[in-house]
Structure formats: C-alpha cells, structure tokens
Structure 1
Amino acid sequence: MKQLLSIEELIQHMKNRGITFNEISENDAKQFLQNNNYYMKLAAYRANYDKCDTGKRQGQYKKLDFGYLKELSTIDMYLRYIVMDMCLDIEHVIKVRLIKNITNNPSEDGYDIVRKFIAQDDNLRILKNIRSHKSGEYCKDLIEKYYPYFPVWVFVELISFGDLLYFCSFYEKIYGVQIINNKLMNTVRDVRNAAAHSNCLLNKMTEKIDSTKQVNNEISSFIIGMKNISKTSRVNNLSYKFTNSFVTVLYVYDSLMNEIPKQKRYKEIQEFMNGRVVKNKQFFQSNSKIVGVYNFHKKVIDNLVK
C-alpha cells in the first residue's frame, strides 16, 4: 500500500523522478496541487514521456517539467467539454431517430416496445434506477405520471446513455431496423463516460490498441478519403487507443448530424486546435509523440471543416 504524501513530499517525489520546475516554480506548483488538481490525476500525463534507460538519471523522465503536466491537464479539460457536447448531440439525434421510427411503425403504439424491453429479467434494474430519481426536480413529474408504464418518448428521457444504446439494440432485434451501429456506439459511450467522469483522455496518447483487435473498416475508410494523410500516418495513428476512440466519435458525429450544426462544431474544434492547444506549443516541441498525435488530429479536423 502506497503511503499518503504531503504536498511537499509529492514535490520532492516528482523531483526524484526527474520532473523539473522551470516553467512553474515549486511554490506555484504546490498552490496548483492544493487548489486546482490532485497529484494522481496530474501525474497520469507522465505516460506521454520516456524515461532514461541508462546513466545517472536511469529511471527518471526525459525533458519533463511540471508545467508540461499542468498544460496537458488543462488541454484535456477543454477537450472533455468538447467531447461531452458532441456526445450530447449524438444522444439527441439517436432519440429523435428512434422515436421517429417507432412512430412510423404500424406494429407499435409507443408503449409496447418499452413493456417488452423492461420485461426482460436483466432490465428490471432500469425501473429501479428510474424510481430512484423520483425525488429529483427535473424528472419527478414524468416519473409520477407514467411509472411504471412509460411511452417511449418519456422512457428515453429517463434512461442512461448506455441503456439507450441497449434499447436501440433491442428494437433492432425485434423489428430488424438498425437505429445505430452498436459496435461503434460502444466506443462513443466509453469516451462519453470518461469525459463525464472527468477521466483523463490524453494521459496515454500513443498507447496501442490490443494486438488482437483490428481497426474498424468504417473508421479506416473515413480517414482514407482525407487529403494530406498518408497511409503510414493513418495506420500508425489509428492503432493508438486515444486516436481510434476520438476519430470514432468524429465519424459517428459526421454520420448522424445535419450539415449546419456539424460544421459549427467542427469549426469550434478547429479553433481549439489552432488556439488553446498550441498556446504553449514550445512545451512539447521536443516530444515527437505528442507532436505527431497533434498533427494527425489537426489534419483530420481541417479535412472535416468546409
């Protein structure tokens, strides 16, 4: 079991690991750790840096300053906001598409599909979860009015994103109509949950996907059509977990959204890539891994903006 360290001890621990305090003083670093972030989360971004293999500094990080960790954590925070906005857009479109299909289905009244879904043994938990929110200000009226016999247009407002995907899969199983690509949506769900829970997205930018898994053909084809991205760059970058996940979110977004809101979002991301991300670009010039990941994503976004 690791010992709980004081802020001063954490600073010394980082210095022992080769982390410098040139861009940010030790005193400022202490203030940041006390008031803005915590060590475990900030330290997660160390994974983007190599360690010395030999010599007096063996085991210590190469060219890693506390300021670089702080900057990565800030960029990551803004990226999570963007991802959440995109995923909320995706969730809304899925609900609209599902309800439209059920409304036009002569075999459905909007209630029957929900009853069938909840009747499955594993789904009784969904009713319990909805019931647990009865005291909340935003859903209590709907729950009190309809519980436990919900029409689909109410039901989708009360269930989680994961259960919404599960419900779409169930509808496809019953009627043979695909609302979404569940294989891709599982990745979107994972990224959404990570962003919603403030998990790090950029802590392991070049960590590879499992060697037993292959890049989805749709995702690969999505990038193949983009200019200025070589085959080598595409294959290498899509093998990274972060890039694969983020590009999947972009692809799903591109597939579902209408052109005007889609372009508005892409331009927002482009401004982020050209602005806040490179505000302190000198911090990362010597890190080829971070620079390479940035350049690939910038090209992808630039290709999406029209």
Structure 2
Amino acid sequence: MNRKKLTIAEQISDMHQKGITFHYTEEQDVSRFLKYNNYYFKLKSYGKNYDKYNSTEKKGQYLNLDFSYLQELSTLDMYLRKTIIAMALDIEHALKTQLLYDLSANDAEDGYSIVSKYLSADYMRVKSLHDKIGKSAATDLIQKRQNNDDCYALWEIVEVISFGEFIELYQLYYSLYPSKNNDFSSYLWSIKFLRNAAAHNNCLLNSLKAPYSISIHKTKDILFEISKIKTVSQKSREKWMANPVIHDFVILVYVYLRLIKSHGIKQSGIDNLHWLFNERMLKHKEYFQKNNTITESYNFVVKIVNYFCNKYRK
C-alpha cells in the first residue's frame, strides 16, 4: 500500500504521533531543518537505533527519542561520510602509487602483459572502457588505445578504470607477483562498499542495532589486530564487528594508517579522525546517554581509532 505524501506540517505531526519529542527545538526551527537541511524519510531512519514501547497506550511509539537526537545523528553521519570519502580517495591514490612502484622494480613484468591478462579475462572489461568515451576525462587516451587494439600499459589504465575495476586489476597483479608487505587485497572490497555508500549519501549511522541487513565475512587479520586492545572485550569485538558499517570502517582506518606513507597526508587524516571521534561526536553526548546501542558502538570504535592512530602514526 502506497503511503500518503506529507507536508512539513504533517511530517511534524507524524513525529508527534510516533512519540518523538521536541524538548530542544522550536517548531519553526524543525520546519526550517526539514526544508533546508535534511528530508523526513532520511531523518527518521535514524530512529531505527531506538526501541519502541511494546505495550500500554504508547505501543509502537519511540522510547526516549527527541528530534534533536535525530538532527545530531544526521549531522554526525554527514561528517562521517566526508571522512570516509577523503580517506578512501587517499587510499586509492596510495594503492596506485604503490602498485606502480612495485611494477618498476619487477623485472618479470613489462606493464603491458598484466593489463592484457586483465582485459582478456572478461570481455566486459574492454566494453566498460569503450563505454567511458565521452563520459571520462580520459576519453582521449581511451580512444587512442581503442585504435591500437586496446593495448594499455599498467600506468595508463589505472587512470581510466573505476575503483572497483582497479581492485580486480590490483588483486590480479599480486596474485601473480605476491608481496608480503604491500598486498592489501583482502581489505579492498570492504573499503569500496563503504566508499560507495558514503559517496551516494547513504545513511551509515541508522543501522547500529542488530539484526543487520547483510552478513559479512569478518577479516581475521583485523580481528587479531583489535584483540590486542586490552580495553576491548572479546564479547564486544564479536558483537560490533558483525555490524557491516563498523567492520568496514575499522578496515578503512587500519588500511589508511598502514598504507599512507606521506607524513603530511597521514597526519591530516589522523587529525580529522581525532577531531571527529574525540571532539565533535562528544559535543552532544548527553543526547545518547540512555541509548546503549549508540554509546556502546561509539565506545568500541573510538578505542580502535585511537589505538590505530597511536600505533601507526609513523
């Protein structure tokens, strides 16, 4: 059954009916927020982190949920998405730099053979390149190589393909030329999924409560790494690393701090993580004191972020 569209006044009325309170916000400010800052369908999704009454006359209404809490979660989500995108872009650039450096020191590979293997393994890969003509800043290069039997060097094709396509090429290279220290293959799909979610403005902080929409294959290396944090219990690891967003974000931070070699870029990333988790997320911590899901998930992630930042600072 289709739902009736609501005016902003009706959206506010709907929140009242759902038990959402307005202790910190005037109705005119709520209207302005819904008009200029965020839309109701997205904002109310953060309510999934809250319990509802199961009985009494309030059955179905939210328990301890104020409009300001939704506002704050949507704002923190925005900062988190921006952080993810910035870190993922730095990771992508560093991966390409590392791959091409390894290629330059590899006498067994000329840079063309690996690309030929990659393209010939799936005809859709060549089609994907041709489909970018007229839609990519690298159109001239693609057309030039199209007229030369799609013969690319590795240092050329990394400028053309998407991050997902690059991951496949990256994994192929290190499957043929293994590297104990430089192969981050097992982490990259988690980073891709998280980056795509952030880039498409998907909500990330609306899915903290189990059950989760998808199941994940936990990365053993990461579980072992965080097992070294004495203030994080095994029960906490098992619980929160089952959350897809938290699992993938932990991997993002871990790979970022291990992979990035530029001191300036790494320090900028660390500074932003510190500001977000140790300052901005605590600005209205009183909003969430009665919500165990939010406070426990925050405490889990902030311990890991601070541990990784201290361990891999250099």
**Mapped partners of 2:192, 2:290: distance in 1:** 34
**Mapped partners of 1:221, 1:305: distance in 2:** 17
**Mapped partners of 2:159, 2:216: distance in 1:** 34
- Alpha-carbon spacing, 1:202–1:101, altered in 2? closer, same or farther (3 Å): same
Match of 1:139 in 2: 138
CA RMSD between the two structures: 2.3
Q: Does 1:271 align with 2:275?
A: yes
Letter in 2 for 1:36: N
What secondary structure sits across from 1:131 in the alignment? coil
Match of 2:125 in 1: 123
Contact 1:269 1:301 in 2 (8 A): yes
Contact 2:46 2:70 in 1 (8 A): yes
- Alpha-carbon spacing, 1:152–1:299, altered in 2? closer, same or farther (3 Å): same
Letter in 1 for 2:299: N
Give 1:296 deviation, angstroms: 1.3
Give 1:53 deviation, angstroms: 0.7
Pairing of 1:23-34 with structure 2 (within 5 A)? 23-34=24-35
User: Is the deviation greater in 88-97 or in 148-157?
Assistant: 148-157
Contact 1:267 1:305 in 2 (8 A): no
Match of residue 284, structure 1, among 267, 284, 288:
288
Q: Percent identity?
A: 36
Structure 2 unmatched ranges of 5 or more: none
User: Is the deviation greater in 162-171 or in 235-244?
Assistant: 235-244
Q: Does 1:48 align with 2:42?
A: no
Question: With structure 1 as the length reference, what TM-score do the two structures score?
Answer: 0.90
Contact 2:112 2:154 in 1 (8 A): yes
- CA deviations on 1:159-218 (whole Å, 9 max, x unpaired) are 111010011123345555686444421111100101111111111113355897553211
**Mapped partners of 1:210, 1:17: distance in 2:** 23
Contact 1:83 1:195 in 2 (8 A): yes
User: Is the deviation greater in 220-229 or in 40-49?
Assistant: 220-229
Contact 1:86 1:253 in 2 (8 A): yes
Structure 1 unmatched ranges of 5 or more: none
Count matched residues. Answer: 303
- Alpha-carbon spacing, 1:167–1:272, altered in 2? closer, same or farther (3 Å): same
User: Is the deviation greater in 79-88 or in 112-121?
Assistant: 112-121
**Mapped partners of 2:65, 2:103: distance in 1:** 55
Q: Does 1:217 align with 2:217?
A: no
User: Is the deviation greater in 89-98 or in 112-121?
Assistant: 112-121
- CA deviations on 1:8-47 (whole Å, 9 max, x unpaired) are 1111111111111222222211111111111111111111
Give 1:114 deviation, angstroms: 2.2
Give 1:126 deviation, angstroms: 2.1
- Alpha-carbon spacing, 1:37–1:103, altered in 2? closer, same or farther (3 Å): same
**Mapped partners of 1:89, 1:277: distance in 2:** 23
**Mapped partners of 1:159, 1:208: distance in 2:** 35
User: Is the deviation greater in 207-216 or in 153-162?
Assistant: 207-216
**Mapped partners of 1:20, 1:198: distance in 2:** 26
User: Is the deviation greater in 203-212 or in 296-305?
Assistant: 203-212
Match of 1:207 in 2: 210
Contact 1:222 1:251 in 2 (8 A): no
Give 1:88 deviation, angstroms: 0.9
- CA deviations on 1:117-159 (whole Å, 9 max, x unpaired) are 223323123212331425xxx4345445544433221211111
- CA deviations on 1:20-79 (whole Å, 9 max, x unpaired) are 122222221111111111111111111110101111110011111111111100011011
Match of 1:81 in 2: 82
Match of residue 295, structure 1, among 278, 282, 299:
299
Match of 2:18 in 1: 17
- CA deviations on 1:202-246 (whole Å, 9 max, x unpaired) are 111133558975532111111111232222222222222222121
Pairing of 1:48-67 with structure 2 (within 5 A)? 48-67=49-68
Question: With structure 2 as the length reference, what TM-score do the two structures score?
Answer: 0.87
What secondary structure sits across from 1:189 in the alignment? helix
**Mapped partners of 1:177, 1:21: distance in 2:** 56
Match of 2:73 in 1: 72
Contact 2:115 2:152 in 1 (8 A): yes
- CA deviations on 1:258-292 (whole Å, 9 max, x unpaired) are 38343442232112112211111111111111111
Pairing of 1:87-102 with structure 2 (within 5 A)? 87-102=88-103
Match of residue 186, structure 1, among 177, 184, 189:
189
- Alpha-carbon spacing, 1:20–1:211, altered in 2? closer, same or farther (3 Å): closer
Contact 2:21 2:65 in 1 (8 A): yes
**Mapped partners of 2:69, 2:216: distance in 1:** 32
